[in-house]
Amino acid sequence: MTHFMTLDFADGDRAALLGRVVEMARGSYAYVVTPNVDHVIKLMDGRVGADVYQGADLKICDSRILSHLARLKGRRLSVYPGSDMTADLLASKAARELTIAVFGPDRAAFDELVARYPHARLQFLDAPMLAPDTPAWAATVRAAAQRAGREVAIMADLQGPKIRVGKFAEGKVWLEPGAKFVLDAARTELGDVDAVGLDYKNLPRDVKPGDSLLLNDGLIVLTVDSVKGEAVYTTVRLGGELSNNKGINKQGGGLTAPALTGKDMDDIKTAMSFQADYVAVSFPKSATDMEMARQLCNVAAAEFRHQPGLIAKIERAEAIPRLEEIIRASDGIMVARGDLAVEVGNAAVPALQKRMIRMARTMDKVVITATQMMESMITNPVPTRAEVSDVANAVLDGTDAVMLSAETAAGRYPLETVEEMAKICAAAEAAEDHQLDADFTGQTFRRIDQSIAMGALFTAHHLGAKAIVAMTDSGATALWMSRHRIHIPIYALTPKVATQRKMAMYRNVRPLLMDTSADRDTALEQAEGHLKSRNIVQKGDVYAITCGEPMGAPGGTNMLKICVAS
């Protein structure tokens, strides 16, 4: 089954692509996101067996669409949480005959729709989580990347423990400052303005009088008055709207929930079935959490002869004192600023971000900066000036990657968001102040391959070389090179697709797939031919290249050669 994804046919130029999508999608599924009513109707006219995805600006209750819905009986109409899902659609007869699939991370919003429209055939598709169709999505992403002439790294983001309140009878309540509110782990009935149940049953044993609990990303603050049995009695300090399944954090940390749940273990198996390049572990508190995740990944990946990179999401206060051991046990970290800010306070996060990026780079690990980087573009077509500065500062700090979440998972402008972020990153990288000589002052290297990598950087920098080329089996040489800031692009040539994908995360590294001869001189000729065929170097250009002899031995880089392209 073939899957196609097209984004936002809002203008005339993009509208021309619709015909191509229709032709390509005959007899298969066409996944189309569009705010244009006419385009949806064309897809619904029977030329394509399609799941039609409603764009964020499309009013699905448009009379022309409703008149076509009856013809789709038995099919699935898919919509995003951010779109205009009006009562006209969900109250219509069509809602009884179609399956209306809601994509996105907001399960609470979906539960509210189910309660409000019990007759509608609603289906929740939790896209960000590892659903059974995740391998198909991974194949779609990789096929799209190949058509674009590149490989991308896929990261499986584990959910971690559910530390959340339960559900409310009305879907949500309004908590007034000063009001009393009970979090009851034993409660089975739906919540109300006085009390609610808990998904996290150990909360009564993790808190004491005087503790501050932050709900819904810190928008609501409760002070613990007392704990009696399975009930936590609190006073509302900062009030507001609280809806189903919102998260709970304890200020300063201290919740004992394990980093890995049973669902995470199942999701690791799913992730390894499509050889996810990285696995992100939520809420690790120590190196032990990461070591356990690595063991689970290695076991699940053994039959595929695959070894994923492990990313520790730093989002608990307890992780900060153990940051070094967590980084050592991981292949990289994610500065997960959302939950982290709730636990340690917003003001502490910028300095922690800089510290974490600096530590990760010093320890030769990758680092991802995440959470609310382009938040306003969930609903707006351009970022705020503050968001531009936030992304640029992360790049200037040395992050390998910047991450989007709701902006592309449920936002109205996913493509525009990525385009804007790419512009910001490129501008920030171009403005960097490179001090390569200072990086090497006082440094000693115990490994030959690492010394060769550093030598290539130093020599290429002072020669003004056109490119730095690393012939690598494992990707380690390219990783070491990428830990230092240099304007010269690093091209990593590898015979392994898995290594190529993993290196896509490394800053300033352009990974390329190339089968090479076992003979060194022949391999070097092949490498230059590969570079010239891609117009990376031309006749007379100087470039530095590293490789190992014998060829293909992991960790065997032992040669640096300065070449002039023939």
Burial of 367 (0-12, 13-18, 19+ CB in 10 A): buried
Q: What is the dihedral of CA 389, 392, 394, 397, to 10 degrees?
A: -110
Per-residue pLDDT, 44: 47
Answer yes or no: are the C-beta atoms of 184 and 195 closer than 8 Å.
yes
Please state the pTM of the whole predicted model. 0.75
3-state secondary structure of 115: helix
Cβ–Cβ contacts within 10 Å for residue 441, how many? 7
Structure tokens at 499: 């290594």
Burial of 320 (0-12, 13-18, 19+ CB in 10 A): middle
Per-residue pLDDT, 117: 61
C-alpha–C-alpha distance, residues 494 and 29, integer Å: 35
Per-residue pLDDT, 3: 29
pLDDT digits (tens, 9 = 90+) for 95-106: 555 455 554 445
The per-residue pLDDT string of the chain (566 residues; one tens digit each, 9 = 90 and over) reads 222 333 333 333 334 434 443 333 333 333 333 444 455 455 444 433 333 333 333 333 344 444 444 444 444 455 444 444 445 555 665 555 545 555 444 556 556 666 666 665 555 544 444 455 678 778 888 888 888 888 889 999 998 888 899 999 999 999 999 999 999 999 999 999 999 999 899 999 999 999 999 999 889 999 999 999 999 999 999 999 999 989 999 998 888 888 888 889 989 999 999 999 999 999 999 999 999 999 999 999 999 999 999 999 999 999 999 999 999 999 999 999 988 998 899 999 999 999 999 999 999 999 999 999 999 999 999 999 999 999 999 999 999 999 998 888 878 888 899 999 999 999 999 888 877 767 777 777 778 888 899 999 999 999 999 999 999 999 999 999 999 989 899 999 999 999 999 999 999 999 999 887 778 888 899 999 999 999 999 999 999 999 988 776 666 788 999 999 99
Adjacent-strand bridge partners of 494: 513
Per-residue pLDDT, 90: 58
Q: Is the peptide bond before 550 cis (omega within 30 degrees of 0)?
A: yes
Structure tokens at 514: 């190339």
Task: Name which of 58, 71, 152 is nearest 401 in CA terms.
Answer: 152
Radius of gyration of the chain (CA): 26
Tokens 């448009």 belong to which residue?
Answer: 62
Answer yes or no: are the C-beta atoms of 546 and 471 closer than 8 Å.
yes
Adjacent-strand bridge partners of 333: 312, 367
Distances (CA, A) of 134 to 126, 131, 269, 273: 10, 5, 12, 10
Distances (CA, A) of 119 to 2, 107, 109, 123, 383: 32, 19, 17, 12, 39
Answer yes or no: are the C-beta atoms of 443 and 483 closer than 8 Å.
no
pLDDT digits (tens, 9 = 90+) for 420-435: 999 999 999 988 887 7
Please name the residues in contact with 534: beta carbons below 8 A apart, sequence gap of 6 or more: 512
Phi (first) and psi of residue 78, to 5 degrees: -110, 135
Q: What is the per-residue DSSP string for 488-541?
A: S-EEEEES-HHHHHHHTTSTTEEEEE----SSHHHHHHHHHHHHHHTTSS-TT-
Answer yes or no: are the C-beta atoms of 165 and 198 closer than 8 Å.
yes
Cβ–Cβ contacts within 10 Å for residue 27, how many? 8
